[in-house]
Chains A and B, each alone.
Chain A
Amino acid sequence: MNCGFDRELLSLYADGVLKRDLLLHVETHISECQECRRALEDMRELGKALNSLPREAAPHALVERILAEAKGTVRQTARDAVRQTVSAVWTVAMHGFRIEDEQEELVRRELPEWVVRWVLFV
């Protein structure tokens, strides 16, 4: 059986997100409707059960792996930047070409301003 009351509204009431006028509207209804009171209790019970599901600590080894990987990425990026710069300088010195867009982006991102000016002639 369903009294026809908007259950989505009841669900918002259970979550405590209703504004005052709607809150009063729901409270008035549930004070008179046993079926909705039960439904509300059920929603709260479900929410409580979900909220208290068991949790585990993140494995320490996982955290260390993430940190090591991130450190490695930084080092690799720096190494790549130096490698790209040397390659860019060499290209410019030998052929007088502008370097590739991809290299330019990396040089701009990773290197000090004076090196960027020197490499890119800007």
Chain B
Amino acid sequence: MDQPPHRVFREFVSAHAGRIYNHALRMLGNREDAEEAVQDIFLKAHRGMADFRGQSEIRTWLYRITVNTCLTRLRRTTLQQVHPDAEQTKTGNQWDTIVSNDDSPENLLIEKDIKGFVIEALELISPDDKEILLLFHVDELKYEEIAIVLDVPIGTVCARLYRARKKLRAAMEPLQKELKR
């Protein structure tokens, strides 16, 4: 079958690049790797579009490529790098721009702390746990979509998501205790 027309592919990239880039950035921990991965992901999608028969949503299909590409890259590299935002949380520069609905000073402080801990703790849990948390909470995929992306039954998604949240919580605890000291 033919390759997608360039205009169609341009629209496809424009529509999904932001989310896919952020997903890769969180998974891989640095911009350089994330950019390489995103390029790889979209070129795979470009090659595969001709064979895409619409068995699943195109978004689900793209996330499937994304997950596989990121996990393969992570397995290939033993180099552990900290997400750039994790560094920024220590000085708090990015969080100042985020405003919650209730912007009382106390609430802003609590929210800022929780996000900072979440970012640091995300680097401490396994890639598989991080992956499922990002798919559900950040990329806002439904349980059914995650099941397709990860090629597992929905029951497994429920169990893995629960376990991942527990691990993230556990990873946050020592960080929070350290701050209280």
Contacts and interface: CB of A to CB of B under 8 A. Distances in A.
Is the A/B pair a real complex? Answer: yes
Interface of A: 7-8, 11-12, 15, 17, 42-43, 45-47, 49-59, 62-63, 65-67, 69-71, 73-74, 77, 109
Interface of B: 1, 3, 6, 9-10, 13-14, 17-18, 20-22, 25-26, 35, 38-39, 42-43, 46-47, 85, 94-95, 97-98, 111, 114-115, 118-119, 133-134, 136-138, 140, 143, 158-159, 161-162, 165, 168-169
Nearest to A14: B165
A62 B46 contact: no
From A12, A54, A73, name the one whose CB has the most chain B CB atoms within 10 angstroms: A54
B137 A50 contact: yes
Contacts of A55: 18, 22
A67 B6 contact: yes
6 contacts: A50-B134, A53-B138, A58-B38, A59-B21, A66-B42, A77-B3
Given A11-B162, A46-B169, A67 B35 contact: no
The 4 closest A-B pairs by CB, nearest first: A50-B137, A58-B21, A58-B17, A11-B162
A15 B158 CA distance: 10
A56 B118 CA distance: 17
B39 A62 contact: yes
A52 B21 CA distance: 16
Contacts of A59: 21, 35
Contacts of B133: 50
B138 A50 contact: yes
Contacts of A52: 98, 115
A91 B25 CA distance: 49
Given A46-B118, A62-B17, A67-B9, A8 B26 contact: no
A80 to B, nearest CB: 13
A18 B38 CA distance: 35
Contact of B13 (A49, A63, A109): A63
Contact of A56 (B25, B115, B136, B169): B25
Contact of A66 (B38, B98, B119, B137): B38
A51 B136 CA distance: 9
